[in-house]
Structure 1
Amino acid sequence: MTTTNVLFEVGLEEMPARFMNDTEAQLKEKTEAWLNDLRLNYDSITTYITPRRFAVVIKQLQSKQDDQEEEVKGPAEKIAKDENGDWSKAAVGFSKGQGKNVEDIYIKDIDGTNYIFVKKFIEGKSVDELLPAFKDIILDLHFPKNMRWADQNLRFIRPIKWLVALNNENVIPFDITGVKTGQVTYGHRFLGGKTVLSDPLQYEQLLEQEYVIADAAKREQLIVNGIKQLEKDKGWTIPIDYELLNEVKHLVEYPTVFSGTYHESFLEIPKEVLITSMKEHQRYFPVTNNNGDLLPFFVAVRNGTDEHIETVSRGNEKVLRARLQDAQFFYEEDQKLSIDRNIEQLSRMVFQEKLGTIADKVSRVTEIAAMISSKLGLDDQELRKVKRAAEICKFDLVTNMVTEFTELQGVMGRKYAEIFGEDKDVAQAIEEHYMPKNANAKLPESVTGAVVSIADKLDTIVGCFTVGLIPSGSQDPYALRRQALGVVQIVSDRKWKLNISDILEQIQVLFESHVKEEAEKKQVHHQLETFFKQRTAYIMKEEKIESDIIDAVLATELKGVSFLFAKASLLSAKRNDTAFKDKQEAFVRVLNLAKKAEPHYLVNQELFVNEEEHNLYKAYNQMKEDYAATLQSQAAEEALEVLGRLVNPIHQFFDNTMVMDENLQIRENRLALLLAIAQEIIKFADLAEINWKQSQA
């Protein structure tokens, strides 16, 4: 078998760094799938990406598809033959359609029916015929944001400037938006030039000669090596923020690490401001001593060589100095105001057109936080802290510092609150109420911060749902999914026994002016419960809880999130517990039969025929109060134990009772009894959803 080496490269205007990891992953995944669909073997696929290009090299690609002999099924024999046993028109047409004749037909039995077949030879195509279709792989790449250019209709991440497509030394012909494939690539925008490629395997080396490190992993390693060398030479500690490192490696094609300095007086500014200025705005790595204290230096990465690096360093120092001077000015000016003055200005900041101002939101958050605090049974001192933190949680939004550095909202609130003499717990809560900032981020450490965080997030979620701003597909402009995840994470982490459903209903009252019809209120409440169940299911999956267990516990009403996790953990253990088999079988049998009951039919004791019916009904009534108490206190094990009181009466009932009695009234009455019990079981979980492995024992 002969093989070939193949290169595809797409040259573009500079791509956004944040899209490049996914673009490279898509390129590899789609190329692999494409070659598999074509039945072409290969040794390896290597992808490359820089700000101005993405490429793929396929090594030792099979130069021709294998020939195939395919068995093709035709109509049944009774259709393929006429009453005389001769081939019918259907058989003749089938064979001709496959390039065969009736002499090639043979018969096979499939599940008791004879069908006609032919074997068809399919000659494999050469890669010369197949490779131009890679154009479709390029056009099938998806990006979060696209653009159009010139008079082209194509929407793509950035305008395409050149295309390289080589099968060994031969150009693979196709074009995109008038750009034809060739064998010319381009090096570094300022340091490199044109390069003619004649061997796909020389792609990476030839680009490096033109000051392009095509392999993103190699660029990252060069940056890390440069940082480590500076640490060694200077005696510094340079913490590597891997999110920043990932971005920087995609901003350059030929990385060179260098350092710069700034005046020590800027260290009087909160370190969070300095770090934000360096990381978020300049893509610099801050420098610290061994104790983690900031030093007046920074580390940056140049897109080029080390030639005249001192000049580059001075230029970056000048840019950073201007930013830090602004930050210093803002910091000093903000301290001339007061919290109360800032809060007054919140009434002029719109939160959402239909939901009012930030001041309106703060008022609601304060009320929601008080409600949650009451449910948690916080003491008077904690209540005062929660109230104050909620009242001032947004005051820093009008400060100069947050206006300039939006990433510092909450952080500056904490700093300024401490400067203005607020209680430290209150100040801490201002920063923490924005936590967690993503699915795996830090949670609030203080009770005050956790309560205000939940209150703020629930206000946004309920408000948006009320006015119809519900996430759909990838559209979630108010980050409601992330905020709901945050609520679930905080409540679960603290094991708070909060009834989420009741809290949502109480918050809806704050938005009554937007929804007046009772039916619409119920619809919004149902949407909210479903939304929170979806977020809870997401976290449960992340924690490796089995899908059927998740479905079982989420079939219940949305009460306590921690309770859901406790029930899931308990049922996951019971799945393999042979001692639970007796209970499981009883409960699942009740749940399955109860599906046949009429919901409106009530249990009538006068229609009971045997003692077992009376005993089961009596046991059901005796356990309800205790069971309700365990559910109210969200005690999972105790609730399951109380339900267990019904197991023996259930088995005795089934052993001595024909549920589907011929007498319609008796049958419906028995089904009604099972439905009443099933409704209690489902308050814990829909146990019929679970794959009970111990039941196979």
Structure 2
Amino acid sequence: MTKNLLVELGLEELPAYVVTPSEKQLGEKMAAFLKDHRLDFESIQTFSTPRRLAVRVLGLADKQSDLTEDFKGPAKKIALDAEGNFTKAAQGFVRGKGLTTDDIEFREIKGEEYVYVTKQEAGQPAKEVLAGVPEVLNSLTFSVSMHWANNTFEYIRPVHTLTVLLGDEALDLDFLDIHSDRISRGHRFLGHETEVANADSYEEDLRQQFVIADAKERENIIVEQIKAIESQEKVQVDIDETLLNEVLNLVEYPTAFMGSFDEKYLEVPEEVLVTSMKNHQRYFVVRDQTGKLMPNFISVRNGNADCLENVIKGNEKVLVARLEDSEFFWHEDQKLKIADLVAKLDHVTFHEKIGSLSEHMERSGVIAAYLSEKAGLTREETQAVARAAQIYKFDLLTGMVGEFDELQGIMGEKYALLAGEEKAVAAAIREHYLPDSADGKLPETKIGAILALADKLDTLLSFFSVGLIPSGSNDPYALRRATQGIVRILDAFGWDIPMDELIDSLYSLSFDSLTYANKADVLDFIRARVEKIMGTDVPKDIREAALAGSTFVVSEMLATADALVAASQTENYKSAVESLSRVLNIADKADSSMVVDESLFENDHEKNLVAAIDELTLSGNADDKIAQLFALSPVIDAFFDNTMVMVEDEKIKNNRLALLAGLAEKTQTVAAFNQLNTK
């Protein structure tokens, strides 16, 4: 016989960003708990609102499955003494399993007998196992936690109720000084405490108290209400998924409504208005049928439609206050001069151990000039990069960015255009922040990409130079994100700039403000980001082989990893890799000063191999290069089958080592094939 189990934890309002991952975490940990304790179930449903996390287990068995487990003990010769009595070793073994020597049997394994005991454990009733539910709740992890009242423990938010129902029976449990019951709390203003009749009535019981416990149902309600407003008002609404998830985790009983603001604010740049509405007020943006921004917004109330006009007026009043600030800053900032703002950056600290923003920009400008040359930019593009590098942080001192820091770069572009800067320069000011997340949008222009690379490279090198190096999960200055941005930009634009040569060149630069240090750590950090981008779908040995290639060009390493994954599925992969690995391993013994003397060849296989090496151009893409190397496998195998490399004659030996070293050098530019696993 099976029953359904409900567990609900009632809390103070959770931060919106915590709700969805916590709901998922609760479901996963409850499933793991039940499996670990041998309690079978059919499926698990999860629920969440800002004030509760809940899980319902469907088809929970009424008791644990029985356990039968065999344990292997010491060998018979150790378990028995000369008289055939059980030794202390045997007695201690069975005692540790809660059994006696009467339970011992001997089983033969590979010609020798060993002690074995079988332990059988009857399954406990589900109610007894579920006494461990508080362990599940206590195992939830959060990015922040707090103390409350005089308690010594901490949790994400204060806990008010614990509801644990097995069918219609309330279980007697305790968690953080809260005793379980069948009581749950309704909507903070519209509802009240209510008894949950049984595990199956949970959603309906809460619905009567103006709580929609199912997050997906709340989301559907919000979307349907917005669609209804769209249809009624003949407008379009941007239903941003991230904003939608945040809003549904701010409300328990959603009611969407549309408000408005004065059309005069539409003179302010759209990005400012959208930021005010979306990021600060959690409003959905409204557009007309052509996509033009309208003086309206849609918000979602945590409650019903009663007195909705007052709610709309209140939201409009709050938004207008923000729009007034935006309009003021927009007009005031245009009175400022870029040159004056740039000069003031001398007094703005980039980091107390590194220096000012001006010094950071100066170093980035030098790096940008170097990159412009390496990337083959035209004279006009190089000049645009240089100009952008001189001013690109100026908007940090504008009133608008001071109020809305999300608009840094965006307002820089707009103010630069108003000041008469070239479009390419203005676009680069905006794009140098990209990508602003691990998988964020990349710069679209070469000028913006070069400036983004320069800014991120100086950031990376500067922080590493003063010892501010990320460790573990700690990365307060987002250096991993910056470095991943460097790698992604280089790959996207196909700039074949070897990272080791680039870093060497940057470390040779001289600045009054800072001396770069910890170069080896920087290179290792960049390699780690390249490996991260390769992803876990690429086997570890292939990632390591591609990263260990002698050509530290990001795009080539990424392409090589993908090509090796494809090649690993071919029939000749194992034999070809083993041939190349043999070359690389033996070539390590060669002296770099040795050269090949064909007059010392003693067989045709040496001649065939040197001819194949001379013809090896390693042209084309990564797939082509690997195919060319794999094609050498028969020639390499024939050489080794018929030629002893490490002979006594030093000249012959060194000549053959030099021959293999020449092939190894070319091979190593693609990948370290001797790091691939072919077993």
TM range (shorter): over 0.9
Is residue 687 from structure 1 mapped to residue 673 from structure 2 by the alignment?
yes
User: Aligned ranges for residues 220-369 of structure 1 at < 5 Å?
Assistant: 220-369=219-368
Asked if the contact 2:354/2:514 (under 8 Å) is kept, the reply is: no
Q: Name the residue aligned to 2:642.
A: 656
User: Aligned ranges for residues 26-105 of structure 1 at < 5 Å?
Assistant: 26-95=25-94, 98=97, 100-105=99-104
TM-fit CA distance, 1:43: 2.2
2:498, 2:486 → 1: CA distance?
A: 12
User: Aligned ranges for residues 605-616 of structure 1 at < 5 Å?
Assistant: 610-611=602-603, 615=607
1:532, 1:297 → 2: CA distance?
A: 46
1:172, 1:618 → 2: CA distance?
A: 80
Asked if the contact 1:471/1:480 (under 8 Å) is kept, the reply is: yes
What RMSD in Å do the two structures reach over aligned CA positions? 3.0
Q: 1:346 to 1:663 in 2, by over 3 A?
A: same
TM-fit CA distance, 1:670: 5.6
Q: 1:73 to 1:570 in 2, by over 3 A?
A: closer
Asked if the contact 1:439/1:482 (under 8 Å) is kept, the reply is: yes
Q: 1:95 to 1:328 in 2, by over 3 A?
A: closer
Unaligned runs of 5+ in 2: none
Q: Name the residue aligned to 2:447.
A: 448
- Which residue identity is paired with 2:526? F
Asked if the contact 2:44/2:58 (under 8 Å) is kept, the reply is: yes
Q: 1:637 to 1:66 in 2, by over 3 A?
A: closer
1:409, 1:568 → 2: CA distance?
A: 36
1:551, 1:102 → 2: CA distance?
A: 52
Moved more, 257-266 or 146-155: 146-155
Q: 1:577 to 1:621 in 2, by over 3 A?
A: closer
Q: Name the residue aligned to 2:190.
A: 191
Q: 1:616 to 1:83 in 2, by over 3 A?
A: farther
Q: 1:39 to 1:385 in 2, by over 3 A?
A: same
1:37, 1:463 → 2: CA distance?
A: 49
2:95, 2:149 → 1: CA distance?
A: 50
Q: Name the residue aligned to 1:525.
A: 519
Moved more, 235-244 or 475-484: 475-484
Show CA shifts across 1:611-657 (max 9, x none): 4696489659957xx86xx69xx965776688679766633431222
Q: TM-score, normalising length from structure 1?
A: 0.90
Asked if the contact 1:601/1:669 (under 8 Å) is kept, the reply is: no
Query: SS at 1:440's partner residue?
Result: coil
2:630, 2:200 → 1: CA distance?
A: 69
Q: 1:94 to 1:410 in 2, by over 3 A?
A: closer
TM-fit CA distance, 1:691: 5.3
2:353, 2:282 → 1: CA distance?
A: 38
Q: 1:74 to 1:322 in 2, by over 3 A?
A: same
Q: Name the residue aligned to 2:180.
A: 181
Is residue 16 from structure 1 mapped to residue 25 from structure 2 by the alignment?
no
2:573, 2:246 → 1: CA distance?
A: 53
User: Aligned ranges for residues 591-602 of structure 1 at < 5 Å?
Assistant: 591-594=584-587, 597=589
User: Aligned ranges for residues 111-260 of structure 1 at < 5 Å?
Assistant: 111-260=110-259
Asked if the contact 2:563/2:626 (under 8 Å) is kept, the reply is: no
Q: Name the residue aligned to 2:556.
A: 563
Is residue 477 from structure 1 mapped to residue 471 from structure 2 by the alignment?
no
Unaligned runs of 5+ in 1: none
Asked if the contact 2:549/2:668 (under 8 Å) is kept, the reply is: yes
1:599, 1:314 → 2: CA distance?
A: 83
Q: TM-score, normalising length from structure 2?
A: 0.92
- Which residue identity is paired with 2:664? A
Moved more, 492-501 or 319-328: 492-501
Asked if the contact 1:463/1:511 (under 8 Å) is kept, the reply is: no
Asked if the contact 1:499/1:559 (under 8 Å) is kept, the reply is: yes
Asked if the contact 1:389/1:430 (under 8 Å) is kept, the reply is: yes
Show CA shifts across 1:115-156 (max 9, x none): 122333212111222112111111111111222223323232
Query: SS at 1:182's partner residue?
Result: coil
> Identity over the aligned pairs, expressed in percent?
42
Is residue 587 from structure 1 mapped to residue 586 from structure 2 by the alignment?
no
Q: Name the residue aligned to 2:530.
A: 536
1:656, 1:69 → 2: CA distance?
A: 60
Asked if the contact 1:273/1:408 (under 8 Å) is kept, the reply is: yes
- Which residue identity is paired with 1:536? V
Q: 1:462 to 1:81 in 2, by over 3 A?
A: same
Query: SS at 1:498's partner residue?
Result: coil
Q: 1:325 to 1:515 in 2, by over 3 A?
A: closer
- Which residue identity is paired with 1:506? S
TM-fit CA distance, 1:355: 1.5
Show CA shifts across 1:176-205 (max 9, x none): 332222221111111111112231211111
Asked if the contact 2:596/2:656 (under 8 Å) is kept, the reply is: no
Q: 1:349 to 1:603 in 2, by over 3 A?
A: same
2:146, 2:454 → 1: CA distance?
A: 39
Show CA shifts across 1:276-312 (max 9, x none): 0000110001100122110110000000001000110
TM-fit CA distance, 1:430: 1.0
- Which residue identity is paired with 1:553? A
